Amino acid sequence: MGGMALGSLFSRDGLLGAPGIVQSLHHKPRAKRVVQLFMAGAASQVDTFDYKPLLQKKDGQPWDPGEEVELFQSRPGATFASPWAFKPYGRSGKMMSDIVAPLGEVVDDLAFLHNVVGKTGVHSQATLLQTTGFNFPGFPSAGSWVSYALGSENDDLPTFVVLPDHRGFASNGAKNWGTAFLPALHQGTIIRPGNEKPIADLRPPESSFITPHSDRAGLHLLNRLNASHAAEREGDNRLTARVRAYELAGAMQLSATDALDLSNEPQYIKDMYGLAPEGPGVDDSVMNVKAETEFFGRKCLVARRLLERGVRFIQIWSGNDNGFPRRNWDSHENLKRDHEPLALGMAHGSAALIKDLKQRGMLDDTIILWTTEFGRMPCSQGSSGRDHNPFAFTNWMCGGGLKPGTYGESDEWGFKPRDRSNYSTVYDIHATILHQLGIDHKQLTVRHNGIDRRLTDVHGRILNAMIG
Amino acid sequence: MPNWLWMWPGLFLSSVSAEIDFERDVAPVFEARCLFCHNRADAEGDFNLETRAAAFGHPDAIVPGEASQSYLVQMIGGTLPEMPEDGDPLTHDEVSKIRQWIDAGADWPEDRILVDKRPRDLDWWSLKPLAGAPVPQNDVLHPVDAFIHANLRRKQLKPVKEADPRILIRRLSYDLTGLPPTPEQAEGFVDAYDPASSMTTRAAVWEEWVDRYLDAPEFGEKWAQHWLDLARFAETHGYDKDKLRPNAWPYRDYVIRSFNEDKPYARFVQEQVAGDVLYPGQPDGILGLGFLAAGPWDYVGHWEVGEDKLDGRIAKHLDRDEMISAVFNVFQSTTVQCAQCHHHKFDPILMEDYYRLHAVFAAVDRADRIYHGLTNEQRERRKVIVRQLNELSVEQDKILVQLDREVEARISGIERRIAEIKETYGTSEEPQYGYHSQMASIPDTEKWVQVDLGASIEPTQVFLISAYHPRDGNGEGYGFPLRYRVEGSNDPEFRKDVRLIWDATSEDQPNPGSKTVSMDVGEPAIRYVRVTATRLARYDTNYLFALGELQAIDARGRTNYALNKAVTALDSLELEDNWQTSHLVDGIYFRANSEGAPFEELKALEAEMERIQAEIRSPEILARQEEIVAQQKALREQLKPYQSESLVYAANANWVNGSRFMSTNGDPRPIHLLHRGDLRSPGKAMRPGALPLWDGVGETFFESDNWEEGEARAELARYLTRRDNPLIWRSIANRLWQWTFGKPLAGTPNDFGRMGILPSHPELLEYLAARLRDDPQQSIKRMIRLLVTSQTYRRSSRHDEANARIDSGNQYWWRADRRRLTAEEFRDSLLAVSGALNPDERGGPSFYDFVIRKPRHSPHYEYHLHDPDDPKSHRRTIYRFVVRSQPQPMLTTLDCADPSISVPIRDESTSPLQALTQWNHVLVEAMARRFGQRLSEEAPDDLVKRAFLLALGRPPNARERELLGSHSRKYGSASMARVLFNLNDFIYLD
């Protein structure tokens, strides 16, 4: 498969600026680009977007949902009211907690699903499920599928970009943006905004012999020799494609540098995204709101600049693996300590991204998806933490022609879907995103080891109410 | 009679009976012809025919007593029936019986659930008996060429001429060893393979070089990589935390050695499925089992969650599925995993077949396993080394005893003073040790102990002091938990108002030894202080929680509120004077002398003692001692291969339990058919068996439910390597062609089913497969020799317009395929050409080309921190430590295999990111620098020529010499080397 797909790419001398495998879209698209915001470690729905007054009422009382509950780490503790107050926001009066208050300004643009159901409460499996549609490794990331399907909108930047948490990768590491059986070209390219080397190998390393002169002269010589090598071997367009790849690499050096240079952004924009005056070096020896806002906001601002330059798919990660001290959303021990700075930072940055895209007219054809591997339990674990809840959690989407509102409810505890026979899955969300991009999720297939593989496996129904 | 007919004997009963019987006359037709689409999962046309309720739930599909009103009858009847959609219409007799059944009231017992029972359709090329194929009789002698020529002639294609000798030797060297030919090899071959000499001479020269490369140890290092791609081999678990597998590499060495020793293929297969049972006592029998374990493994699911929980059982299920898929995709080119949720949609594989395979692997997991077994010769060698070591330690003792006497004479006074200080000022060793829990068998068991402070107060700090256990050298820190938390409350049950004072539960803590662990408390007031251990300390094979003293201190540090207060605990080991819960607050605990003037004196005395000791040791004695230590080290190194516990990460049913990862001890877990692949919907219990894909092979391995775990795998291994297994020989023959020529004869090497690509040269594949099967040695090398000695292999890769118009993809092999170096070949070539490669470092533990950060919890593999000049990493790429979660960035960009899945064919993508990597990667820079130095030393007068011979196996032409020479003069030989490493000519093999 890969060979054939690439053959058709190369015959157009494509590469980065390549059209995708879907030569004519399955239907009229509403969106062109996707941003996936991923809260690693599992963000609590009942402390952010899914208001549950019953928890307040029954706080400290034994939690009895009326059925057996098997938790990941612990036995169910008492009912645990959210430590944060909830208030209504926007025209819709959507109830949200204080730690996501910055999103209140754009809440009327958001489409909520509070009845998303996962498969297991294991971080690795659940993270893969959200990023690849399968709960075990070996499948392409949603970003790789989109890159493969639609190709690039630009000539000099990768189609699929990953902005990881600078403190480390989430569960499964690079598997969350790997191509598996799709060509390597569609892997997520890691960009680390604020880092000395934001993109690996973009520039020559420290060297005793590489100078700007030798570098330029070397590339020039290389292209001459490679061009004549290709000319002597007709009928093999891989050789000319490789010559072109070096030219595009040079272009990418320029445009990536430009995309990552925030110095020309006006101060009010930097403020809107919450960048700290001291920049990425802001003190976070103890996790705090200022630092988390800087970290997430910078990634959101860079994301906007990349979207403007035609990057198709961007993953933004909040939170790393389960190292120590905790720097992710996996609040088993202390919900307040972890969730408050992470959520406020996330809410500030993502609200800024939405406002900024809107004022540039880009929100109409950019989908933003907020997701996490699963939710957290309505009961306490230990004194002030919550265990995993894969039975119901929250996603929201925004932009890309999607209608704002609330499309799925959880039960009164935030424990399981209110309507147990009618809930949402990652397949539905992926199917809907592909639909908005003009792709029928059942038609985008690649045969691998004898099976026509899809991002949505054999599932997925488009969320018709949301697409209007 | 086809072997599926036993499934519904009722079908062949006489149909003269006037009474229509649902079970006999109707159900078998529905099951064979309708259920494939009209089941609960698919319910095509919104019609599900599994149960009476479902079928009758459709408003007018079946109208009892009214066949002609029934939609079902309209669909299957008539001259051009609409159903079944694919395949022949039902017979007249079948339709008429269904009509009669409906007219008679459509009797269908409530509890009768129908299942899809399509007949197995074995009429497919890969499932036909392997009969071999006669070599076409034409003017070509070599059998491979004879098959190829027959097709070329039919297609009116004219093969291009043989490639230039320099191209040939480079191609052969890379294909068989993965490395470029040295200039000496290239010159030697070109001289001998003289176009002017006779065909026979040239054939002999070619064969000589083929054998030379096949016999070289580098052959296995190249060909094992093909196999490791299939075997999804890596050395970390993948998933969350991605922990290391320090004992995975022996399997990699086993594969290399198996290729180099030319192990018969059937044996190679058997060892990898059931070597422990079929070849007991032989290391290869265990090492081969590394295959089953090579894929990813969900550490959290197996180790932390465990089988008590659904998530843990899902992890086990996924784990077996992973093993089964590997065995069948790799050895049988069969996609058995598609039958997990429903019968295979395209191939004759039922869900039952798939779950029978789960039963085969029901008792195995993945864990380290001892493979060591020494030959008599090795035992002798070991004895010799051990004897030498013993002699050395006797000599060492002599020297030390003599020294000790002299030292003793001079320091006895000092020693006495040290003892005095210790006695007076501390290191109390009173028998009231403290609190001690009962023993637990796993570390992650919660144990708590708490103190009642008597009233609700606000201590400023809580101190924890570890217990001191004087026996067995356990000393201070005994039983101190690895993970724990400290909480305060006013509720003795700790059910409400619980305040977390100290949380050390998320990561293992260093043992505090004699240091006091102090924590701030403050307000609000608390009455009870509870210490909960969440990961216990290890003692021998058990786990426990012990604490010497707990103090709750006031602001001035004077009052200890906890002193002699009431202590309760989850459990306690009350042991005479030593261990009592009350000892936790008795004010008695071990105090290592660690502060104050006496301590200073103690340190000074100890330093003085050391000084005297150093003085007494003469330089000669020290030199001899150093010599002994060096000899011991060398001998221990020599002993390594003979040590008694050599471990390999392999399929395993018997290991030492850890956390919630419990060995089955060979007792198979119960396996059920799972409806829709869901563990919450178990069906009937399954016994081991395999796929009855050809005549003469049964479904189950055992008649009874009493079967041995190992025997089930042994049966599977025997099944796979049967002579009449049509798949295994075709599968490997196709791969050998692919690994030699660059693309397979059948385009989907892991899938010979109906979704796979048909072979381009079925007769040739048939011939090769039978030839390998019938070779008494089942020799892989003999097959490769056959392939590379063909003219087809030696053709030029030149384009030809006329041929390309007929066959642009070169499906018929009118030319050779130009190919790019693989990721490993590229890296190996950088090292080899620059002179950095250490070719003699073969086998053994893998080198790291990353630095590990945070190794204890979730290791971070930091490739950018690795020093490319580190000689330990200047080994062939096959010996690198393969990480799953964070794959090597350079090799990944160059399309190396993803070790999470079996990769039969690698991609060959071209992208600007690849260009950036090859141009700017630190390894390319380091090797260019090194290559530049090498050139300046070896050929200062003709750098370019030497560079070309080393890197490209040919001399430069005038233009190249001019351009590169001028670049080198201006920017240095290293800069020129960097250009060379990026040439298409370097990266592509003509």
Considering the domain boundaries, does residue A404 fall inside one?
A: yes
Mean pLDDT of A186-197: 88
Residue B807 contacts A where some CB pair is shorter than 8 Å: no
Q: Which residues of B touch A234 (CB under 8 A)?
A: 799
Residue A254 contacts B where some CB pair is shorter than 8 Å: no
Q: pLDDT value at position A184?
A: 78
Do B982 and B857 share a structural domain? yes
Count CB-CB contacts under 10 A for residue B985: 22
Nearest CB neighbour to B912, from listed A205, A249, A449: A249
Considering the domain boundaries, does residue B219 fall inside one?
A: no
Q: Which residues of A touch B960 (CB under 8 A)?
A: 225
Residue A430 contacts B where some CB pair is shorter than 8 Å: no
pLDDT-derived band at B14 (thresholds 50, 70, 90) equals very low
Q: Do A137 and B238 touch (CB under 8 A)?
A: yes
Considering the domain boundaries, does residue A65 fall inside one?
A: yes
Q: How many domains does chain A divide into?
A: 1
Do B415 and B540 share a structural domain? no
B470 vs B472: CA distance, rounded Å? 7
Q: Do B925 and A204 touch (CB under 8 A)?
A: yes
Q: Do A158 and B864 touch (CB under 8 A)?
A: no
Helix-strand-coil split of chain A, %, nearest 5: 35, 15, 45
Q: Do B335 and A207 touch (CB under 8 A)?
A: no
Do B612 and B500 share a structural domain? no
Residue A72 contacts B where some CB pair is shorter than 8 Å: yes
Q: Taking the mean position of all CA atoms in its chain, how far away is CA B360?
A: 20
Considering the domain boundaries, does residue A240 fall inside one?
A: no
Considering the domain boundaries, does residue B320 fall inside one?
A: yes
Q: Do B907 and A452 touch (CB under 8 A)?
A: no
B332 vs B324: CA distance, rounded Å? 11
For A37, the domain range is 2-201+275-467
For B504, the domain range is 454-592
Structure tokens at B313: 């059982």
Considering the domain boundaries, does residue B142 fall inside one?
A: no
Considering the domain boundaries, does residue A207 fall inside one?
A: no
pLDDT digits (tens, 9 = 90+) for B514-558: 777 888 887 888 999 999 999 999 887 788 999 999 999 887 666
Q: Do A219 and B974 touch (CB under 8 A)?
A: no
Q: Domain boundary residue among B627, B642, B657?
A: B642
Q: Domain boundary residue among B103, B138, B165?
A: B103
Q: Which residues of A touch B505 (CB under 8 A)?
A: 333
pLDDT digits (tens, 9 = 90+) for A133-163: 998 888 999 999 999 999 888 878 899 999 9
Which of A209, A453, A459 to probe the B interface (max B CBs under 10 A)?
A: A209
Q: Residue A186 pLDDT > 50, yes or no?
A: yes
Q: Do B912 and A189 touch (CB under 8 A)?
A: no
Query: Which residues, numbered 864 to 893 in chain B, qualify as contacts with chain A under a Cβ-Cβ cut-off of 8 Å?
Result: 864, 884-887, 889, 892-893
Do B676 and B574 share a structural domain? no
Considering the domain boundaries, does residue B556 fall inside one?
A: yes
Query: Which residues, numbered 936 to 955 in chain B, qualify as contacts with chain A under a Cβ-Cβ cut-off of 8 Å?
Result: none
Considering the domain boundaries, does residue A211 fall inside one?
A: no
Q: Read off the CATH number of the domain in which A363 is found.
A: 3.40.720.10
Phi, psi (degrees; rounded to nearest 5) at B119:
-65, 145
Q: Do B920 and A171 touch (CB under 8 A)?
A: no
Q: Residue B576 pLDDT > 90, yes or no?
A: no
Considering the domain boundaries, does residue A264 fall inside one?
A: no
Mean pLDDT of A423-428: 97
In 3D, which of B74, B206, B46, B175 has the Cα closest to residue B791? B206
Query: Which residues, numbered 181 to 240 in chain A, qualify as contacts with chain B under a Cβ-Cβ cut-off of 8 Å?
Result: 181, 183-185, 187, 189, 197, 200-205, 207-211, 213-214, 217-219, 221-222, 224-226, 228-230, 233-236, 238-239
Q: Do A209 and B929 touch (CB under 8 A)?
A: yes
Q: pLDDT value at position A222?
A: 97
DSSP state of A34: E
Task: Tell me the residue type at B803.
Answer: N
B118 vs B591: CA distance, rounded Å? 78
- Helix (H) and strand (E) counts in chain A: 11, 14
Q: What is the 3-state secondary structure (H, E, C) of A198-263?
A: CCCCCCCCCCCCCCHHHHHHHHHHHHHHHHHHHHCCCCCHHHHHHHHHHHHHHHHHHHHHHHHCCC
Residue A227 exposure: Cα atoms within 13 Å on the Cβ side: 9
- Integer CA distances (angstroms), A367 to A288, B99, B465, B933, in order: 29, 55, 56, 53
In 3D, which of B223, B743, B901 has the Cα closest to residue A449? B901
Least confident window among A44-53, B137-146, B321-330: B137-146
Q: Residue A3 pLDDT > 50, yes or no?
A: no
Mean pLDDT of B395-403: 75
Residue A185 CB contacts under 8 Å (≥ 6 apart), including other chains: A6, A15, A147, A179, B909, B910, B911, B913
Which of B240, B526, B738, B818 to probe the A interface (max A CBs under 10 A)?
A: B240
Q: pLDDT value at position B4?
A: 40
- Integer CA distances (angstroms), B123 to B348, B694, B721, in order: 10, 10, 21
Residue A74 contacts B where some CB pair is shorter than 8 Å: no
Q: For residue B818, what is the nearest residue in chain A, using CA coordinates?
A: A236
Do B553 and B495 share a structural domain? yes
Query: Which residues, numbered 261 to 320 in chain A, qualify as contacts with chain B under a Cβ-Cβ cut-off of 8 Å?
Result: none
Question: Are the C-beta atoms of A239 and A226 separated by less than 8 Å?
Answer: yes
Q: How many domains does chain B divide into?
A: 5
In 3D, which of A265, A278, A312 has the Cα closest to residue A148? A312
Q: What burial letters (b/e) apply to A300-337, b meaning 16+ CB within 10 Å?
A: bbbbbbbbebbbbbbbbbbbbbbbeebbbbbbbbbbeb
Count CB-CB contacts under 10 A for residue A90: 16
Do B983 and B852 share a structural domain? yes
Considering the domain boundaries, does residue A159 fall inside one?
A: yes
Considering the domain boundaries, does residue B169 fall inside one?
A: no
Q: pLDDT value at position A1?
A: 27
Q: For residue B984, what is the nearest residue in chain A, using CA coordinates?
A: A226
Count CB-CB contacts under 10 A for residue B598: 15
Question: Are the C-beta atoms of A290 and A276 separated by less than 8 Å?
Answer: yes
Which of A242, A333, A387 to probe the B interface (max B CBs under 10 A)?
A: A242
Q: Taking the mean position of all CA atoms in its chain, how far away is CA B467?
A: 42
Question: Are the C-beta atoms of B330 and B230 separated by less than 8 Å?
Answer: yes
Structure tokens at B976: 């020129």
Q: Read off the CATH number of the domain in which B461 is found.
A: 2.60.120
- Integer CA distances (angstroms), B33 to A327, B15, B94, B96, B280, in order: 57, 19, 11, 15, 48
Q: Domain boundary residue among B704, B722, B740?
A: B722
Q: Residue A108 pLDDT > 70, yes or no?
A: yes
Q: Give me the total of CB pairs closer than 8 Å, taking one residue from chain A and one from chain B.
A: 287
Q: For residue A18, what is the nearest residue in chain B, using CA coordinates?
A: B911
Model confidence, pTM: 0.73
Q: Residue B5 pLDDT > 50, yes or no?
A: no
pLDDT-derived band at B118 (thresholds 50, 70, 90) equals confident
Do B487 and B552 share a structural domain? yes
Residue A13 contacts B where some CB pair is shorter than 8 Å: no
A347 vs A353: CA distance, rounded Å? 10
In sequence order, what DSSP letters do the residues of B428-481 get, joined into one string?
A: ---S--BEEPPPBSSS---EEEEEEEEEEE--SEEEEE-EEE-GGG-EEEET--
Nearest CB neighbour to B750, from listed A210, A383, A450: A450
Do B903 and B868 share a structural domain? yes
Residue B87 CB contacts under 8 Å (≥ 6 apart), including other chains: B33
Residue B446 contacts A where some CB pair is shorter than 8 Å: no
Task: Tell me the residue type at B58.
Answer: H
Q: Residue B857 pLDDT > 70, yes or no?
A: yes
Question: Are the C-beta atoms of B291 and B251 separated by less than 8 Å?
Answer: yes
Q: Residue A312 pLDDT > 50, yes or no?
A: yes
pLDDT digits (tens, 9 = 90+) for B753-776: 988 889 999 999 999 999 999 999
Mean pLDDT of A101-114: 98
Q: pLDDT value at position A5?
A: 30
Mean pLDDT of B342-357: 89
Considering the domain boundaries, does residue B313 fall inside one?
A: yes
Considering the domain boundaries, does residue B775 fall inside one?
A: no
Q: Taking the alpha carbons of B555, B557, B559, B564 in that order, is the dihedral positive or negative?
A: positive
pLDDT-derived band at B10 (thresholds 50, 70, 90) equals very low
Q: Is the model more confident about B738 or about A60?
A: B738
Do B15 and B82 share a structural domain? yes
pLDDT-derived band at B593 (thresholds 50, 70, 90) equals low
Q: pLDDT value at position B606?
A: 73
Mean pLDDT of B330-337: 94
A262 vs B903: CA distance, rounded Å? 42
Q: For residue A331, what is the nearest residue in chain B, using CA coordinates?
A: B506
Do B577 and B466 share a structural domain? yes
Do B393 and B325 share a structural domain? no
Do B357 and B342 share a structural domain? yes
Mean pLDDT of A236-253: 89
Nearest CB neighbour to A221, from listed B341, B929, B963: B963
Q: For residue A224, what is the nearest residue in chain B, using CA coordinates?
A: B963
Mean pLDDT of B787-808: 95
Q: pLDDT value at position B2?
A: 41
**H helices present in A232-371, as ranges:** 237-260, 267-273, 289-308, 335-359
Q: Which residues of B touch A137 (CB under 8 A)?
A: 238-239, 296, 884, 900-901
